[in-house]
């Protein structure tokens, strides 16, 4: 990771919520979720907050690096309907080696819908994929692929 990332670096990131990001779509195999109202799911809100943090980190990563979420502590306090745009403000609050802290806040144009803190760990993708594929071998599971769809390890 470059030494350019500093506390105070921030991004404002917006996303229009489609019907596919509502509670019934979170785990479609779960009847309990399918029976719930079609509002923006907490799980998808968390993912959107992580995405905003990725945008903060993006210009500071070296080739072959990425980051993984290692901690999330957020509220989800208001419902958002499909078609609304959610805007996430993500701000770097700490840089402790490869561990990066963020504050996150999401608003849907009417209400603050969630806020809290998030931490990510900067990693080398090749090392991570190799370690996870060692675990997959131990578990007698299939090897994972890098996000590009290319086989690894």
Q: How many CB atoms are closer than 10 A to CB 26? A: 15
42 is catalytic: yes
Q: Is the pTM of this model over 0.75?
A: yes
- 152 pLDDT higher than 60: no
Q: What is the pLDDT of residue 145?
A: 83
Residue-wise DSSP of 24-88 = GGTSTT-HHHHTS-SSB-HHHHHHHHHHHHHHHHGGGPPTTEEEEEEEEEEEE-S---TTPEEEE
- pLDDT-derived band of residue 153, with 50, 70 and 90 as boundaries? very low
3-state per-residue secondary structure call for 75-114: EECCCCCCCCEEEEEEEEEEEECCEEEEEEEEECCCCEEE
- From 22, 50, 107, 118, active-site residue: 50
Gap between the Cα atoms of 18 and 66, Å rounded: 27
- DSSP 3-state assignment of 3? coil
User: Are the C-beta atoms of 112 and 77 separated by less than 8 Å?
Assistant: yes
- From 65, 76, 87, 93, active-site residue: 76
Gap between the Cα atoms of 76 and 93, Å rounded: 21
- pLDDT-derived band of residue 149, with 50, 70 and 90 as boundaries? low
Mean pLDDT of the chain: 95
Question: Average pLDDT in the 23-36 region?
Answer: 96
- From 25, 38, 42, 87, active-site residue: 42
Question: Average pLDDT in the 98-111 region?
Answer: 98
Q: What is the pLDDT of residue 151?
A: 52
Could you give the angle at the alpha carbon of 125 between the alpha carbons of 120 and 130, nearest 5°?
120
Residues 6+ apart with CB under 8 A from 151: 143, 145
Question: Average pLDDT in the 67-76 region?
Answer: 98
């Amino acid at each position: 990771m470059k030494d350019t990332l500093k506390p105070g670096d921030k991004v404002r990131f917006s996303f229009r919520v489609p019907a596919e990001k509502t509670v019934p779509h979170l785990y479609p195999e779960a009847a309990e979720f399918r029976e719930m109202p079609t509002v923006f799911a907490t799980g998808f809100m968390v993912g959107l907050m992580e995405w905003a943090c990725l945008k903060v980190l993006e210009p500071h990563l070296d080739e072959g690096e990425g980051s993984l979420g290692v901690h999330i502590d957020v509220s989800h306090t208001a419902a958002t309907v499909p078609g609304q745009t959610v805007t996430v403000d993500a701000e770097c609050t700490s840089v402790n080696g490869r561990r990066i802290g963020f504050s996150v806040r999401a608003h849907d144009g009417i209400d603050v819908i969630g806020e809290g803190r998030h931490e990510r760990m900067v990693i080398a993708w090749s090392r991570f994929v190799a370690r996870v594929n060692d675990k997959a071998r131990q578990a007698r599971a299939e090897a994972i692929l890098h996000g590009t769809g290319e086989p690894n390890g």
